[in-house]
Homo-oligomer: A and B are copies of this chain.
Amino acid sequence: MNGDPRPVPDTFKLADWPHNCWYAAAYDVECRRALLPRRIAGHNVVLYRRGDGRPVALENACWHRLMPLSEGQLEDDDVACGYHGLVFNAEGRCVFMPSQQTINPSARVRSYPVLERHRFVWVWPGDPALADPELVPDLHWNDDPAWAGDGGLIHLDCGYKLIVDNLMDLTHETFVHGASIGQRSIAEVPFEVTHGPSSATVTRWMVDVDPPPFWKMQLEWKRGEPAGRVDRWQIIHFQAPSTVAIDVGVAPTGTGAPEGDRSEGVNGYVLNTMTPETPRSCHYFWAFARNYSLTDQRITTLIRDGVAGVFAEDETVLAAQQEAIDDHPEKEFYNLNIDGGAMWARRLIDKLMAEEDHDERYRRSAQEAERHAGAITQVEATEADAQRLGVG
């Protein structure tokens, strides 16, 4: 990748998403023995649990007169419409109609493939025949006993791709999150982008730097002594279309972390999965998992609240960006070097779209992705940056 910016392929403007994939629909604790309405990838869905705990996802509109089923009542494993009392079972089949004996066998609401994994309830809005549980994104850190942490759900007023861009380029931490995790080195050091058929990885090492407040605190918690200079890493794993797991951490400089020994440091995973709601809004599920002091709830709470604070800063930025996009339909996006990861993420989304869709633009973008598959992109630090940012 050279220093020349180039416009983002015009698929950027298509505020769309693939349908044949699993989207996080709810945090496990949100889905209960009660009716939870939520728009998932444009589909109006009602979620609940059966008596045995298994989640159910039905279309949230009664077959009869479209009344939202979420306004009705849960009756054992079935849902009764709150207007005329029609009852639908967990498969979406109508099992009761008022004042009549015969129930039309076509009377049903759509039932979505649904499963629970890694503390999320996942829904498949596309073709049920393709709903392979193996395709659920890997966020295992979220319920692996070797890791501890917690997270939350944010409703964001922007298209889900803007969050993908945001997470794939962490240089923005320098400018948006200066008080917590940002530091100038992020925008200075080289990084590497690799990619496979449905994933992309951005790797960035900041060797021998001062730890920013968030990491200094954690390192001192773990080691019980004042923290000095550290080697810091950010390894961003993207899984198409909208899951990003970021391996982050610091270790005291000289203890061998860049060479593979992280034992002296602290390590966490920032887990992110975004579910489109509408073309201009999405559900953003996140968690932060760490691999030390596993049962210390104080640390869990402090980190969770800290990360929530950081994401609130992004929230403002992303909503402003979405408004600006709506306001400037005539404008292109341009890519900088820092967008190398985001560009691959978008190509991989386009590839999924091309498989489902015949929009010529998706196909062109996907072909470009195919052509570059497997390449490694090195992005060098620049002297100019170093000078400007006052380190160099």
A residues near B (Cβ < 8 Å) are 2-5, 44, 61, 63-68, 71, 80-86, 96-104, 107, 165, 169, 171-172, 174-176, 187-188, 316-317, 320-321, 323-325, 327-328, 331, 333-334, 336-338, 379, 381-385, 388
Given A64-B336, A84-B169, A97-B336, list of 16 further CB < 8 A pairs? A44-B328, A64-B334, A66-B328, A71-B317, A83-B176, A83-B321, A98-B175, A98-B187, A99-B187, A99-B379, A99-B381, A100-B337, A100-B379, A100-B385, A101-B382, A104-B334
Once bound together, how far apart are the Cα atoms of A172 and B96, in whole Å? 14
Residues on B with beta carbons closer than 8 Å to the beta carbon of A176: 82-83
Report if A66-B324 is in contact (Cβ < 8 Å); known contacts: A61-B331, A175-B84, A176-B82: yes
What's the number of copies of this chain in the assembled complex? 3
Residues in B with CB closer than 8 Å to A333 are 64-66
| Nearest B-chain residue to A101, judged by Cβ | B382
* Set of chain B residues within 8 Å of A97, measured between Cβ atoms: 5, 336-337
Contacts of A320 in B (CB 8 A): 67-68, 71
A104 to B2, CA, bound (A): 11
Contact B99–A188 (Cβ < 8 Å): yes
Bound state CA distance, A104 and B3, in angstroms?
8
29 A-B residue pairs with Cβ-Cβ distance under 8 Å, sorted by A, are A2-B102, A3-B101, A3-B102, A4-B104, A5-B97, A44-B324, A64-B334, A65-B334, A66-B321, A66-B328, A67-B320, A67-B321, A68-B320, A71-B316, A71-B320, A80-B175, A82-B317, A83-B172, A84-B172, A85-B172, A85-B174, A85-B175, A98-B175, A98-B338, A99-B171, A99-B381, A100-B336, A100-B338, A104-B334
Docked complex Cα distance between A64 and B337 (Å): 11
